[in-house]
Structure 1
């Protein structure tokens, strides 16, 4: 599964309107005086940032509007600022991808970056939401968002337009430093284990703390006892003959309440189980970050087989070549 700074700002690619600067693929952002934010929040920005790997990026984040909105909470300010930069980078990647006139049969490296930045935004949001109760979870979400920037950089190598490639690379490199700053602040605040989740009770010991009771039941129950939401079978005996079609069906938005087919029952956002009967499915399966709470259940190793045929030689990036990708 694919889960997956102290000089003035200069223009990278004037034709794209980019305002981030890059030198040897390392982002350069301005050092902003911390006095205003420090006065507003009584936080010594300089002292805090000296302990992070990117002091200038840290000062930029903690002197921003996000910092004024999260007084005395440097970590929250750093994550919120990273989110604004991720949104900016995503918008640029999407615009450049849409404006490309090159014919293509597969997602481009720019498409990869737009998707990865979208995923990173979700992960940053999750990190912010979990900060009070799950220190280990925050580390996981931030680390994943940080890794996404490296994957984006790898995909950008396949983008033929050097100006577009440099413009997005600069924003991603800067975002990498801002996420790294948030991760460092989180580690500093939780040094020694304070803020960590309490030990898991015995019945949860085999699962991470974030696995819900319902999901633990699904993962530990025999397949024969689980009632699926969709059944995929090549011989037509199920609800679908394609895994991708089944995923699209179970993750489709429910009809409006006034719609004749609307029902008061249903899972209400609970895990959707797709049972894939034995067979060889010649398709590439992708579960996007918006298609949440999906579980694929097969008949076992060597029985239910998914075989995709995407490769770099076939025009796909490494990221997009996954046979089964869950983002």
Structure 2
């Protein structure tokens, strides 16, 4: 038999084991067991089926929590089915600290508002594609432009709502004014759609197929937008109830001094006092229809006022009748118009639907401006 054959090697190994004492044998056995455990652990960790199973379990738990939160958020909305559809694609945020799903009210609300913005943008694009370079009467053109302006204003107000949501941290808790401005912005955004449809209804006397086509397009596009905003407002109302209950149970919050003056949030204490200083406030520029001021038209003074001003810019308007329709673009922030009294300073716009103006465009004083333009072909 060969010297290095398996039989001889096994015999030598057996003799080596017999010559070892008890302590040495225990060490050998321990090392063998530890090696076996390490091999088994490595096999389990590298097993795709095991890893995949664990991953699926975590994902299932996360989806269950997500669905539960969405169901709670949509519970008291007027358009529940639409609410579920709106939130169905919401990504599940995960905290890196404990790998737990963190789905706050602000996170859900912001996602819902962003989904509404997306729908508004799609409506803007489809409307431009549908109505641009088409032949419409002047009244129809005005109505379409009004609707496009309303869509642009809705987009702007939804963006402002998200900005306001970021400025008010959810961790602060409930305060009486917490969601006040946010609700104002969303309510204004929702009514824009109604203004568009109302303007189109004014033209029903035309009774043309083109008129019906325009109205149907905007009704189909704007109704879901108004409903999505309505759902957002319902979510806020529910959250306010929850926060109010939390406040009642929190002695520290109850001790906080909340102003009860009922004045506008955006006015500082200094500005509120300024409003009460009759005759002592000096305007930055003067408008006078007799030519004795810096401008003779209110529109001229507004056009040359600073854009996005951080401080109050006051325009004094002397007594007189100003026959103009005043439009204040939304970039003219912190603008104040100061007249000489309700029976002294009079703005008298005279636009009307008979002269070809829509109801919306006939406003004597309005505060917005569109950044979307359409090209029309005249009939």
Q: TM-score, normalised by structure 1?
A: 0.72
* Distance in 2 (alpha carbons) for counterparts of 1:229 and 1:157: 42
Unaligned runs of 5+ in 1: 1-34, 254-267
Residues 157/313 of structure 1: CA separation in 2 closer, same or farther (3 Å cut): same
Alignment of 1:1-327 (within 5 A): 39=63, 42-44=66-68, 45-64=70-89, 67-68=90-91, 72=103, 73-96=107-130, 98-102=132-136, 104=138, 108-131=142-165, 132=168, 134-158=178-202, 160-194=210-244, 200-201=258-259, 205-222=261-278, 224-252=279-307, 268-327=309-368
Q: How big is each residue's C-alpha offset from its partner over 1:205-230, in whole Å with a ceiling of 9 and x where there is no partner?
A: 151333234542442222x3223222
Per-residue CA deviation, residues 248-301 of structure 1 (Å, 9 max, x unaligned), is: 110458xxxxxxxxxxxxxx5322211111111111111133332221111112
1:104 Cα shift?
3.0
Whole-angstrom distance in 1 between the partners of 2:356 and 2:336: 29
User: Cα–Cα, structure 1 residues 277 and 95, in superposed 2: closer, same or farther, change >3 Å?
Assistant: farther
Q: Tell me the C-alpha RMSD between the 2 structures.
A: 3.1
Q: Counterpart of 1:4?
A: none
Shift in alpha-carbon separation, 1:209–1:41, aligned structure 2, 3 A:
farther
Per-residue CA distance 1:165-216 (angstroms, 9 max, x = gap): 32222111110111011111111122155499975437xx151333234542
Question: Structure 1 residues 164, 99: CA separation in 2 closer, same or farther (over 3 Å shift)?
Answer: farther
Structure with more helix by fraction: 2
Moved more, 306-315 or 99-108: 99-108
- Higher-Rg structure is 2
Deviations for 1:93-142, whole angstroms, at most 9, x for unmatched residues? 45555434336389712211222222222322333333436222222222
Partner SS for 1:295:
strand
User: CA separation of 1:142/1:252 partners in 2, compared to 1, >3 Å: closer, same or farther?
Assistant: closer
Question: Normalising by the residue count of structure 2, what TM-score does the alignment of the two structures yield?
Answer: 0.63
Aligned length: 273
